[in-house]
Amino acid sequence: MACLSTSGRQGLFVAVGSRRYHNQRFLCQLMLQQQENNHRKNLGGSMANTKCSTATSRLLSCTTSASLSNAPLHFQQPKRYFHGFNKNTTTTTTTATSVFNLMHNSPTATTNSKTKCSNLKTNCRHYSSVHTQQPAGPVREIQIDPYIILDDELKYFYDDVRDLLAQGTSQAELDKIATYYFDGQGKALRPMVTMLMSKAINYHLNKESRQLLHKQRQIALFSEMVHSASLVHDDVIDQSDFRRGKPSVNVLWNHKKVTMAGDYILSVASIMIARLKSDDVTIVLSQILTDLVQGEFMQLGSRETENERFAHYLTKTYRKTASLIANTLKATAVIAEADENMTELAFQYGRNIGLAFQLVDDMLDFVSSTETMGKPTAADLKLGLATAPVLFACEKYPELNPMIMRRFGEPGDVERAFELVHKSHGLEQTRFLAKKHCIEAIRLAQEMTESPYQKGLQVVADLVINRMK
């Protein structure tokens, strides 16, 4: 028979015996109800007679692993709405061990962080249903799938974006260009993280308001619209040919129309945020646009010295990538009227996830295939850009320095730089730096009240470090 036990903040553990539990949602309901009860106790019993909120009592599609052995478990991305982080034509799995291993090897990690980060070793979506065996080892904790617990918020996300853009214009061609990348083929990382943080903050503050959540979802829409607008503009600047496995937007339409379509996306997103009638939120989100432009200028005109390169690279990476996530999450805290500490926590979590995401992206440019990435590999070198793997490789191969200064412009520079990066430890050092940012993001998430959404924020770090596209 099934055995249920609890242990402090480790949540609900399920030991599956001979009985089969085919109702996947039952297990997650138990977990959420227990966390809700614990949350009420922490509030001094003031909520003892109230019903579970919709957000925390919703039945989730979640399973336990069929195996209770020590074999590593895997994270399977849902295939219903989004293309996942590690998707191919047959299966979608990501080993959830890298961040855990680093936590146990990192000299800066605390014992408390080690205990909590061990949660990333387990996952509830390894199998499509709950199977049963006699217990063969220690019980495992149910893990959270961020996309599943945000089903309601993400299911029609891209439909809503397309509707917003269609309502703003009567120009059919403009609408077609503007909606080209809103086809559900992206990772949906930004809206997913934004809604996770929103719900984690609301739970932490004990604010269960549909109106508040709607406003936070508008911020999530803004983040994805700004991101896609930046992709449209990047394709024009970089003269890209492919993105997400299909011809880039500038290949199908002329540059003038594509540029205006990107501007149109930004204008519709800005109008949507203005309707929230929050000056503080508007100021925070406006910073994203400022950072995007400055980051692009840094990339276009970089001629920094050898000693300045890495600091320049990190600043550019923050402005072009991490600022969008960091300030979006900050805005969700601001609109929830969170205190300064919680607002800063949301910002720093987003900053670390954003930096880690881009570091992994720069690493994949050297190790992944064009088919997997959906865009040409070694693209940064061909654009004359020195990213983290190259900068780390310079320590072992100084001959890269003149190549960087001439932006890999001479014949053979790209091929030679690519070779030297693989001969050095540049890729390993880039991955290690990304892991450090993921560990910091996990630490920040652990400071929030425990909930499925807070746990989901920790899982995101593992998704980022283990993504393959």
Q: Rounded to an integer, what distance in angstroms lies between the CA atom of residue 82 and that of residue 153?
A: 13
Residue 31, classified by CB atoms within 10 Å of its CB into exposed (0-12), middle (13-18) or buried (19+), is buried
Q: What is the pLDDT of residues 173-196, one digit of tens each?
A: 999 999 999 987 777 899 999 999
Please give the pLDDT value at position 238: 84
* 392/132: higher pLDDT: 392
With cut-offs at 50, 70 and 90, classify the pLDDT of residue 372.
low
Q: Is residue 144 over pLDDT 50?
A: yes
Please give the pLDDT value at position 16: 28
Does the pTM surpass 0.75? The reply is no
Q: What is the pLDDT of residues 408-419, one digit of tens each?
A: 999 999 999 999
Q: What is the mean pLDDT of the chain?
A: 76
With cut-offs at 50, 70 and 90, classify the pLDDT of residue 375.
low
With cut-offs at 50, 70 and 90, classify the pLDDT of residue 300.
confident
Q: What is the pLDDT of residues 422-439, one digit of tens each?
A: 999 999 999 999 999 999
Mean pLDDT of 57-64: 31
Q: What is the dihedral of CA 438, 141, 155, 214, to 10 degrees?
A: -70
How many CA within 13 A on the CB side of residue 271? 9
Q: Is residue 197 over pLDDT 60?
A: yes
| Length of the chain counted residue by residue | 469
Please give the pLDDT value at position 408: 93
With cut-offs at 50, 70 and 90, classify the pLDDT of residue 350.
very high
Q: Rounded to an integer, what distance in angstroms lies between the CA atom of residue 104 and that of residue 299?
A: 36
Please give the pLDDT value at position 374: 58
The share of the chain scoring above pLDDT 70, in percent, equals 67
Those residues with Cβ within 8 angstroms of residue 422's Cβ, 6 or more apart along the chain or in another chain? 366
Q: What is the pLDDT of residues 227-266, one digit of tens each?
A: 999 999 988 988 888 787 788 898 999 999 999 999 999 9
Q: What is the pLDDT of residues 437-461, one digit of tens each?
A: 999 999 999 999 999 999 999 999 9
CATH architecture label of 149-466: Orthogonal Bundle (1.10)
Q: Is residue 219 over pLDDT 90?
A: yes
Q: Is residue 380 over pLDDT 50?
A: yes
Calculate Rg over the CA atoms of the chain: 23
Q: Is residue 133 over pLDDT 50?
A: no
Cα 448 versus chain centre, distance: 18
Q: Rounded to an integer, what distance in angstroms lies between the CA atom of residue 83 and that of residue 303?
A: 37
Please give the pLDDT value at position 110: 38
Q: What is the pLDDT of residues 62-109, one digit of tens each?
A: 322 322 223 222 333 333 333 344 433 333 333 333 433 443 343 333
Q: Where are the domains of the chain?
A: 3-146, 149-466
* 11/228: higher pLDDT: 228
* 178/60: higher pLDDT: 178
* 431/112: higher pLDDT: 431
Mean pLDDT of 389-410: 95
With cut-offs at 50, 70 and 90, classify the pLDDT of residue 122.
very low
Please give the pLDDT value at position 306: 78
Q: Rounded to an integer, what distance in angstroms lies between the CA atom of residue 264 and that of residue 77?
A: 32
